[in-house]
Amino acid sequence: MKEAEIRRLLAANLLCVFTIVLTAVVPAFILDGFTILGTHLAWLCICSVCVSTLNIILHLVLKPNLTPKRSSFAHKISRFLKCCIYFFMSCILFHAIIVLYGAPLIESVTETFLFAVLLSTFTTLQCLCMLGPNIQAWIRVFSKNGAMSIWESSLQITTICSILGAWFGAFPIPLDWDRPWQVWPISCSLGATFGYMAGLIIAPLWIHWNRKQLTYKSR
């Protein structure tokens, strides 16, 4: 395992963390009255768009899973459309799961869906950028010892941390504290965001620490 590859992963992940921090700071200078808590839906949109854009750019620049095959333009268009469909289906699926876990079914539909979009950005979009619309590859990566590169190991860690963060973020909602961050879905989306950021930082450090034990099978 090359140290240079781990440094590339660390740099890319830190750039993602920095971008999320900027989404909480920069809009306040442009939009009047912007705050994460006060205008949470606006922040959800801004964060999802910025993180999505950055991850797509990083994938195109770094090309962590570049294959030697050359595909036709029609194949690339078909792949892009499939990715869009998979991402939309992921948003619908997350929305349904969140409702099943107790989110309002009819009230706060916009809030719930935007939270689902944020979760899809932190999880599904990463899989689409790394593995494409290939469900079998997704299953392989998230199975035991299924990762074949440090990028896939990072994908495992950030995805799990994002979902766990969202889950832990739901715990304060029913408490009788009457805090503004207890309004749905602020604590969950902040939990998912902090979980995602923690995963981005933990992943390269964990990979570096265990680099001698990690052996990746060749494709």
Taking Cα atoms as reference points, which of 137, 112, 104, 110 lies closest to residue 219?
A: 137
- CA 30 to CA 22: how far, in whole Å? 12
- CA 73 to CA 58: how far, in whole Å? 21
Model pTM? Answer: 0.91
Sign of CA dihedral 207, 211, 213, 214: positive
Q: How far is CA 176 from CA 52, 104, 173, 200, in A?
A: 35, 18, 8, 33
Contact of 186 with 40, CB cutoff 8 Å: yes
Reading the chain (219 residues) residue by residue, the pLDDT tens digits are: 578 889 999 999 999 999 999 999 999 999 999 999 989 999 999 999 999 999 999 998 887 765 555 667 788 899 899 999 999 999 999 999 999 988 888 888 999 999 999 999 999 999 999 998 989 999 999 987 778 889 999 999 999 999 999 999 999 887 767 788 888 999 999 999 999 999 999 999 999 898 777 777 654
Residue with tokens 């973020």: 169
- CA 152 to CA 137: how far, in whole Å? 10
**Angle in degrees, 0-180, between the axes of helices 109-122 and 73-100, rounded to the nearest 10:** 130
Which H or E element spans position 58?
helix 40-62
